[in-house]
């Protein structure tokens, strides 16, 4: 058993409010490339170069080819043991899952009320903002590419938050409430992208016990009470086993 898991299990047993933030690392074991890890580059582009409104304005076909490639890859992936543990925990009162991932694997694992901080690449909206609400589209491959808005015929764009774009105020509001928690777990994120990376600091300031599950130490180490330097797909099932064994 990993050192420190017992301490977290004890706190999880008594915690009324548990908030989890996940990043690309939780989907690594499912075969989804992380952003900064190997495979994060597409052709020679860094995500920050393609995930912007400017890049889309310059070449919407190129940006859509990237999103189509990611959708095609993710469509072949399954949620892993880490997603499944969090899906089970999401059924308990006082639990909130916030994810930076746009891959939809938490939802596919059955997680209740996932807060999609950066949107979903399975949802589209109108680039010309004609008023049509965002819609779900799971077609792989996308055809025609680029896809069009069914209402105005203009370009459609992925319903994700691009660099330089604000987080949806409703999402920020929902997250703010969840930062009043007893324990905050930061799982599989490099904590480089803001404002997502700032949430753990706010939770900590509000009295939460902050935990990081990540094989690497990240930039939020200063706010972390306990770091579990192990992959999520092994640490979370081990933690869950500790929780259920005590109950059994």
Interacting partner of 130 out of Zn ion, ligand BV8, none (Cβ under 5 to 8 A depending on kind): Zn ion
Could you give the CA distance from residue 29 to residue 233 in angstroms, rounded to a whole number?
7
Asked if 149 is part of the footprint of Zn ion (rule: CB under 5 A), the reply reads: yes
Q: Which of 212, 167, 224, 225 is nearest to 194 (CA)?
A: 167
Per-residue contact flags (x/-) with Zn ion for residues 94 to 133, judged by CB under 5 A: --------------------------------x---x-x-
218 interacts with, out of Zn ion, ligand BV8, none, CB within 5 to 8 A per kind: ligand BV8
> Does position 54 bind Zn ion by CB under 5 A?
no
For residues 12 and 239, is the Cβ–Cβ distance under 8 A?
A: yes
Question: To the nearest whole angstrom, how small is the minimum distance from the Cβ of residue 48 to ligand BV8?
Answer: 6
Q: Which residue is nearest to ligand BV8 (CB)?
A: 25
For residue 143, give both structure tokens: 């055809």
- 118 tagged catalytic: yes
Q: How far apart are CA 202 and CA 237, in angstroms?
A: 27
Both structure tokens of 69: 């490639």
Pairing of strands 115-116, 119-126: unpaired
Q: Which does 161 bind (CB under 5 to 8 A by kind): Zn ion, ligand BV8, none?
A: ligand BV8
What SS3 state is found at 26? helix
Give least dist CB 67 to Zn ion, A: 18
- Least separation in angstroms between residue 77's CB and ligand BV8 is 13
Annotated catalytic residue, options 83, 106, 118, 173: 118
Written as six digits, the tokens of 200 are 């753990």
Q: DSSP string of 143-154?
A: SSSS-B-TTT--
Residue 74 Cβ, how far from Zn ion at the closest point, in Å? Answer: 25
Q: Which is nearer to ligand BV8, 9 or 29 (CB)?
A: 29
Contact between 73 and Zn ion (CB under 5 A)?
A: no
Short-list 151, 132, 160, 163, CA closest to 71:
160
Burial of residue 17 (number of CB atoms within 10 Å: 0-12, 13-18, 19+): middle
Interacting partner of 151 out of ligand BV8, Zn ion, none (Cβ under 5 to 8 A depending on kind) = Zn ion
Residues that are catalytic: 118
Contacts with Zn ion, residue ranges (CB under 5 A):
126, 130, 132, 149, 151-152, 154
């Amino acid at each position: 058993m990993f050192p420190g898991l017992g301490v977290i299990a004890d706190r999880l047993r008594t915690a009324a409010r548990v908030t989890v933030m996940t990043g690309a690392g939780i989907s690594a074991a499912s075969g989804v490339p992380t952003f900064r890890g190997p495979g994060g580059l597409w052709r020679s582009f860094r995500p920050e170069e393609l995930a912007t409104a400017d890049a889309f304005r310059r070449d919407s076909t190129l940006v859509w080819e990237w999103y189509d490639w990611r959708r095609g890859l993710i469509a072949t992936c399954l949620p892993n043991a880490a997603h499944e543990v969090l899906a089970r925990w999401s059924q308990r009162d006082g639990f909130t899952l916030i994810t930076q991932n746009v891959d939809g694997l938490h939802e596919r694992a059955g997680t209740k009320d996932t807060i999609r901080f950066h949107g979903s690449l399975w949802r589209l909206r109108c680039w010309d903002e004609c008023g049509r609400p965002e819609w779900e589209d799971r077609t792989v491959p996308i055809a025609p590419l680029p896809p069009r808005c069914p209402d105005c015929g203009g370009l459609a764009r992925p319903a994700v938050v691009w660099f330089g774009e604000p987080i949806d105020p409703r999402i920020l509001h929902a997250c703010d409430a969840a930062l009043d928690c007893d324990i905050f777990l930061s799982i599989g994120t490099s904590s480089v992208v803001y404002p997502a990376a700032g949430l753990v600091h706010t939770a900590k300031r509000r009295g939460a016990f902050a935990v990081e599950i990540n094989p690497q130490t990240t930039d939020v180490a200063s706010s972390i009470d306990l770091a579990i330097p192990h992959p999520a797909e092994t640490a979370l099932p081990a933690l869950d086993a500790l929780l259920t064994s005590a109950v059994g």
